[in-house]
Amino acid sequence: MLLENKKVAIIGGGPGGLTLARLLQLQNVNVKVYERDVNKDARVQGAPLDLHDESGLAAIHKAGLFNEFLNNFLPGADKTLITDENGTLFFSDHETNIEQDFGNEHFRPEIDRGALRKILLESLEPKTVIWDSHFVSMDKQNDGWLIHFKNGNSVYADLVIGSDGANSKIRPYITDIKPFYSGITMLEGTIYDSEKSAPVIHKILNGGKIMAFGNEKNILIGQKGDDSIGFYASFRASENWAVNNDLDYTDKTQILNWFKNSYPEWSNIWYELFENASVPFIPRLINCIPLDQTWKTLSNVTIIGDAAHVMPPFAGEGANMAMLDALELSEYLTCDDYTTIAEAISFYEINMRKRASKAAQESLENGEKMHSENSLKTMLAFFSEE
């Protein structure tokens, strides 16, 4: 096997990196995951993920973790309501979406990011994840890399795989191609103990999600498994909006006033979200890879997930693509079809860029539709076709 007697370092412990570590360990590969978080509880995990049969779920199956997934996914979290800016209901599948139809291409079971992370972490051998390991730089050493971390530690690896997100520090070692701004920004908020804190929205959600469209803007809301609600105000803005708007993201009153001024046509039913969210709110620029990106393969470093192909979230493909990256890369590196690690990486990267470009194009197109003048009509037609 290509990785026999090799040390593999995965930089970043998100869904892609942890899935890859699990799959490699099943093939007896010596792998470590270096994660900048100080421990597994250091960060609040984001909105739930919907896993797709051909990507995220395929990786879960190959990792031997489907039973654990079944014990932790959120039945009914994929149920959807579509409203206009006044909260008027135009679509609901709550009465028809009652079966957990695994294997159906349209069934996308959801799971909290924290629950998925826990499943993956517990599947790994002890001490696989090295916490408090904030990557700083790496230098070529022999046929591999000497990796340096902010805590002063340095380690050697024969193969480095960057799974460190959209602002990857591994990516610049491979390519100078940068993502571009899609023109859309999201302002993210979280409400804890939503049944008490936001009872109106909590009742309307009924464990599922709300997509509200109006005036070329959105509000996207989802119920999490811990009775918290994650929500996003999604709108077109300049690339520098997040730093030039003079908003204090820790001030709920100020953010509520921003919403009233920026979403003037929207009903006060949505105010409950901003009045009861924890702070700070988080602005998120929605970036995307150039659809024609390419680079020359290196023999001992590659990237997966957002580090390789950050894309808008409007097709639900981000985490799914990362987990599919992990699945495919693990297979390329552990099969007997290739004579060198560089050859295996090359085949992975070519295929990865091709399918990531297709997914990114779909996400960009969906983002345009969701922020168009006819967004409500367009999205109703889309959901009616499913």
Q: By the 8 A CB rule, do 263 and 151 touch?
A: no
Q: By the 8 A CB rule, do 211 and 218 touch?
A: yes
Backbone angles phi and psi of 273, in degrees to 5:
-60, -50
**Cα(232)–Cα(283) distance, rounded to whole angstroms?**
9
H or E segment to which residue 93 belongs: none
Residue bearing tokens 């972490």: 121
**Cα(361)–Cα(357) distance, rounded to whole angstroms?**
6
Alpha-carbon dihedral angle through residues 298, 147, 333, 311, given to the nearest 10 degrees: -70
Q: By the 8 A CB rule, do 306 and 166 touch?
A: yes
Amino acid at the residue 27: Q
**Cα(263)–Cα(87) distance, rounded to whole angstroms?**
13
Listed residue (228, 223, 189) closest to 79, CA to CA = 223
Tell me whether residue 78 is annotated as binding: no
Q: What number of CA atoms fall less than 13 Å from residue 249's CA on the CB side?
A: 15
Grouping H, G, I as helix, E, B as strand and the rest as coil, residue 275 is helix
The first and second tokens of residue 165, run together, are 């997100």
Tell me whether residue 50 is annotated as binding: yes
Helices 15-25 and 318-334 cross at an angle (nearest 10°) of 20
E-assigned strand segments in the chain: 7-11, 30-34, 49-50, 80-84, 89-92, 110-111, 129-130, 135-141, 144-149, 154-157, 159-162, 180-191, 209-214, 217-223, 229-236, 282-288, 301-303
Backbone angles phi and psi of 323, in degrees to 5:
-70, -35
Give the strand pairing for 129-130 and 110-111.
unpaired
Q: Binding site: which residues?
A: 43, 50, 113, 306
Q: Binding site for NADPH: which residues?
A: 43
Q: Binding site for FAD: which residues?
A: 50, 113, 306
